[in-house]
Amino acid sequence: MVIAAVLVVFLTVDQTLCEPARPREDVKIDAHRFHAFESKMIELRNVNPNKTYLYSIGKSIENRDMWVLALANEKPDETVSMRPDVKLIATLNGAQAQSKNILMQLADYMLRNQNTDPDVDFIMRNTRVHLLPVANPDGMVRSVENLCENDTLGRPNANNVDMDQNFNDFFKCIKSPVQPETKALATWFHHHKFTLSAHIHTGNVVVYYPFDDYPGSPDGSFYSATAYDNEFKAMSLDYTATHPYMRKLTCPGKRNFTNGIVRLLAYAGFNF
């Protein structure tokens, strides 16, 4: 599992993704998987009508909703003054079903255990948490379960565009067409002034923390720290302190991370 604590998401683009988007017609689509996900989201809303608010931030290319479940002890459908909004996003890469499952299980746990878990009770009473378990629904229905060695099936959206690479960088714009899912996410980001965000991937076991980009250094070789660099590091280390496997993991022949954290630009060239 990969969790990245971020404030705003902008991504640089690999030049290979600047080619015109072409939908793949040779990929089997499992629509039932998305219907099952929708049914579970509706069930969570119906069982907890006073503490949940289910809404769609937009449609995918193939007209699937991008569902968000908001959780709060009171008024989950309203912006309340001085109450921070938090967003958690998963399955931007449609093949990473584990990230979707993490958010679904989180929603279920929080709604079942507010009365017995003091941390959950504090979060529910003092924040509003927005969960977007499937940011790329068309990719999810194209993914193949248990195909861990190759996540290319379902990774992009229906136009075969990698959603990770479809956001404008601060210093330059992407050349590939902006996708409907990207527009929906950007509108959502601007509509809600999120105080804290996390983007859950699967693959590496590491926390990515955010940074400022720097012109002429797209590979992250220049450390351009944000004004909150120390705070971001501290938050990341707080998380890995409760995750011994992540904190101490070493993989022979692969890149390893000190204390289980890394600045994402230095690792992958992304600009969160």
Span 52-79, pLDDT tens digits: 999 999 999 999 999 999 999 999 999 9
Predicted confidence at residue 97, as pLDDT, reads 78
pLDDT band at 10 (very low <50, low <70, confident <90, very high): very low
Q: CA-CA distance, 197 to 228, in Å (whole number)?
A: 14
Phi, psi of 24 (to 5 degrees): -90, 130
Predicted confidence at residue 107, as pLDDT, reads 96
Predicted confidence at residue 135, as pLDDT, reads 94
Rounded to an integer, the average pLDDT of 90-117 is 91
Which residues lie closer than 8 Å to 86 by C-beta, 6 or more apart?
A: 127, 128, 129, 130, 194, 195, 196, 197
Span 149-176, pLDDT tens digits: 455 677 889 888 888 878 876 666 777 7
Cβ atoms of 178 and 167 within 8 Å: the answer is: no
Residue 19 has pLDDT above 60, yes or no: no
The residue ranking higher by pLDDT, 148 or 222, is 222
Cβ atoms of 179 and 159 within 8 Å: the answer is: yes
Q: CA-CA distance, 209 to 4, in Å (whole number)?
A: 6
Q: CA-CA distance, 2 to 205, in Å (whole number)?
A: 5
Predicted confidence at residue 71, as pLDDT, reads 98
Cβ atoms of 238 and 48 within 8 Å: the answer is: no
The residue ranking higher by pLDDT, 47 or 239, is 47
Residue 133 has pLDDT above 90, yes or no: yes
End-to-end Cα separation, the chain, in angstroms: 18
